[in-house]
Amino acid sequence: MADLSINLGGIKSPNPFWLASAPPTNSGYQVQRAFEAGWGGAVWKTLGDPILNVSSRFAAVSFNGQRVAGFNNIELITDRPLEVNLKEIYETKKRFPNHAIIASLMVEPKRHKWHEIVKRVQGVGVDGFELNFGCPHGMAERGMGSASGQVPELVEKQTFWVKEVAEVPVIVKLTPNITDITVTAQAAVNGGADAISMINTINSLAGVDLDTWNTIPHVGGKGAHGGYCGPAVKPIALNMVGECARNPYINVPISGIGGVSNWQDAAEFLLMGATGVQVCTAAMHHGFSIVEDMIDGLNNYLDEKGIASVMDIVGKTVPKYSEWGDLDLNYKVVAKINNDVCINCNKCHIACEDTSHQCIDMLVGANGKPMLKVREEDCVGCNLCSIVCPVDGAIEMVKLKNTLPSMTWNQRQEMMERYAVNRIAR
Amino acid sequence: MSEYIEFQAEKRKIDGYFEDGYEISIITEDLSGMHIEFASPFAADREKVKLLLTTPEARKYIATRLLYPQVMY
């Protein structure tokens, strides 16, 4: 049995699976049930001045029968008085002293506001704070959430204000609704953050009803943008985690958020540099019990690899994540079709012929039956055929023996400069 | 025509110039591709020839040759 416990910037947790600040962590009843189910930590639904919500708050995007491929919400932070939340946090912590309870906070970007809420909340024994600089709807219109999270100076300043009075670790939750998340991540570090978490939800509109022309969701015929999460956002989140993890100026732990639905997703985030993960949509879709499979799966994965602690895989993929200009232009893979497995659906041929490099031929085999064959010399190794192929094992991308030594774009450009006209003129 | 065939044709020209002792003096790149000016070190007037490379594989190939001149191609 591998050791699944983590230490994220001073916050200890029996396993890396936390519930994200969201509807599943709205109350003590829910968080205690989550801990009973096995979750290692919970980020309490954001505390602040109690808000007013609208009815009809969630919407989901299904894709080809996959329910909740993406999830959209326009719900705001807690609508309950601070005293009620604090009482339930205290009771929950008392019952589960070894589980991590992190209080998500959001107030106006004013020093006294941050000091007030931090002092009041830490009194009940939370293990850490998460500053919500990411919520993209509703609160942002009031200058909070992503509105302040998109301004590096405000991220740094507010983090600093919190650190002035916080006695427990401070995580800064970042918005993906920004061109370069490493800029705001660095601002958080400069402000004294003990850790960062990402990503909050992405500005979104789930859809439009073609009969009524209403937005989805709509509130009495009117809609507003929401925040998008769920499996569809995982690649975006994974990149942002990786970009921060490999940035030498962002030297604090990362809590990974964004479409984590199973132990494999969690392991990917850990390998990409996250010390733990936060989950929301998968729990909303399937319930708290999904954490059982997450724990078992991650534990078995570590055991099979002979790894004693989950902390030992954190960031192992980061050195492999680089700039495009550092990739080898002479590395080459080509598609190989296994005709014993291929069902001749021709999807690879159509994809290649219509949208790629026209290198899969439809032939007739010696047995008189149709067969597909890749002209390797014309294959650029784009992977498209293997992506669209519906049969596992029918198309394999095979690495060719290098005929040319490695050359990156950056090396090429440096070398080409020697032969440039203007250089010779000089 | 297969791009591979186009690449092979351009590669033969590149190899041919190098085998004849030509050296690259200037390379420019523009919307048409890579323009290479070869100069012969043997001719008294340093005879120059120009070659336009259009295929990506040929442009990779010649850059690799220049980056690794000691490798046998």
Using CA coordinates, name the residue in chain B closest to A404: B64
The whole-angstrom distance between B25's CA and the closest CA on chain A is: 6
Using CA coordinates, name the residue in chain B closest to A406: B64
Are B2 and A412 an interchain contact pair (Cβ–Cβ within 8 Å)?
no
User: Per-residue pLDDT tens for A237-250?
Assistant: 999 999 999 999 99
User: Per-residue pLDDT tens for A255-293?
Assistant: 999 999 999 999 999 999 999 999 999 999 999 999 999
Contact between A124 and A93 under an 8 Å Cβ cutoff? The reply is yes
pLDDT for residue A143: 86
Interface test with A, best of B1, B6, B22, B60 (most A CBs within 10 A): B60
Which pairing describes strands A195-198 and A202-204: parallel, antiparallel, or unpaired?
Answer: unpaired
Q: HSE-up of B7 (CA within 13 Å, CB side)?
A: 14
Of A98, A128, A103, whose CA–CA distance to A28 is shortest? A103
Residue B73 lies in a domain: no
How many structural domains compose chain B?
Answer: 1
As a dihedral over the C-alpha atoms of residue A153, residue A158, residue A164, residue A170, rounded to 10 degrees, the angle is -110
A348 a catalytic residue: no
Residue A299 burial (10 A CB sphere; 0-12, 13-18, 19+): middle
Interface test with A, best of B2, B64, B71, B72 (most A CBs within 10 A): B64
Provide ipTM, 2 decimals. Answer: 0.94
Using CA coordinates, name the residue in chain A closest to B72: A404
Helices A82-95, A28-37: axis angle to 10 degrees equals 20
The whole-angstrom distance between A140's CA and the closest CA on chain B is: 45
Residue B11 lies in a domain: yes
The domains of chain A, with CATH numbers, are 6-318 (3.20.20.70), 324-399 (3.30.70.20)
Residue A403 burial (10 A CB sphere; 0-12, 13-18, 19+): exposed
Residue B72 lies in a domain: no
- CB contact set of A323 (below 8 Å; sequence gap of 6+): A410
- What would the two tokens of residue A291 be? 């954490």
Of A368, A324, A369, whose CA–CA distance to A344 is shortest? A369
Q: Give the model's confidence band at A139: pLDDT under 50 very low, under 70 low, under 90 confident, else very high.
A: confident
Beta-bridged to residue A18, according to DSSP, are A41, A278
Residue B46 lies in a domain: yes
Amino acid at B53: L
Phi, psi torsion values for A104, nearest 5 degrees = -80, 135
| Greater pLDDT, B42 or A220 | A220
Flag whether residue A415 sits within 8 Å of chain B, measured between CB atoms: yes
Each residue of A221-234: b (16+ CB within 10 Å) or e?
Answer: eebebbbbbbbbbb
Sheet holding B33-39, edge to edge: B23-30, B33-39, B48-53
> Is the predicted pLDDT of residue A426 greater than 60, yes or no?
no
Question: Angle A154-A156-A157 (CA atoms, 0-180°, nearest 5)?
Answer: 65
Interfacial residues of B (vs A; Cβ cutoff 8 Å): 2-4, 24-29, 60-61, 63-64, 66-68, 71
Which pairing describes strands A17-19 and A41-47: parallel, antiparallel, or unpaired?
Answer: parallel
DSSP letter assigned to residue A176: S
Rounded-to-integer distance, Cα A266 and Cα A298, Å: 8
Rounded-to-integer distance, Cα B64 and Cα A412, Å: 8
Beta-bridged to residue A7, according to DSSP, are A12
Contact between B9 and B32 under an 8 Å Cβ cutoff? The reply is no
pLDDT for residue B43: 67
Of A278, A244, A286, whose CA–CA distance to A258 is shortest? A278
Phi, psi torsion values for A326, nearest 5 degrees = -100, 5
| A43 SS3 class | strand
- Which CATH number do you get for residue B9? 3.30.920
Owning domain of residue B53: 3-67
User: Per-residue pLDDT tens for A52-99?
Assistant: 999 999 999 999 999 999 999 999 999 999 999 999 999 999 999 999
Rounded-to-integer distance, Cα A104 and Cα A406, Å: 48
The whole-angstrom distance between B72's CA and the closest CA on chain A is: 10
User: Per-residue pLDDT tens for A152-180?
Assistant: 999 999 999 999 999 999 999 999 999 99
| A186 SS3 class | helix
Mean pLDDT, to the nearest integer, of A297-320?
98
